Amino acid sequence: MRDRKNSAVPTSDELSVDTILQAMLGDKDAIGAVLKTFEPYIVEQSTVRHRYVDEDLTQMLRETLMNKIPDFRFKADKSRPKPCQLGGFKL
């Protein structure tokens, strides 16, 4: 099991809400930004026995991420008094 503290998982500060929404709508540049942000995590998860990167697994994870982008959901921001409605997406 990987140490989550040292994991390459992107934080919510690394992608803007606008970029994520554009990616969800199919914007190629925004999808590229999402993939670029997640690339260190994908490579980390594709590394076998701390020695080499399994390129087939890396590609499968990239494809899975791209297929899941339209299904992204936002968690409620507890610092906001009310949810915000933007383009049909609840933030």
Domain assignment present for residue 86? The answer is yes
Domain of residue 47 covers 13-90
Q: Burial code of 55-69, b = ≥16 C-beta within 10 A, e = fewer? A: eeebeebeeebeeeb
For the CA atoms of the chain, what is the radius of gyration? 15
pLDDT digits (tens, 9 = 90+) for 22-61: 999 999 999 999 999 999 999 999 998 888 999 999 999 9
CA pair distance 89, 91, nearest whole angstrom? 6
Q: pTM score, two decimals?
A: 0.69
Q: Cite the DSSP H helix spans in the chain.
A: 17-24, 28-46, 55-68
Q: How many domains does the chain have?
A: 1
Six token digits for residue 25: 């709508």
The Cα–Cα gap between 25 and 83 comes to: 21
Per-residue pLDDT band for 17 (boundaries 50, 70, 90) equals confident
Residue 80 domain-assigned (yes or no): yes
Is 85 a domain residue? yes
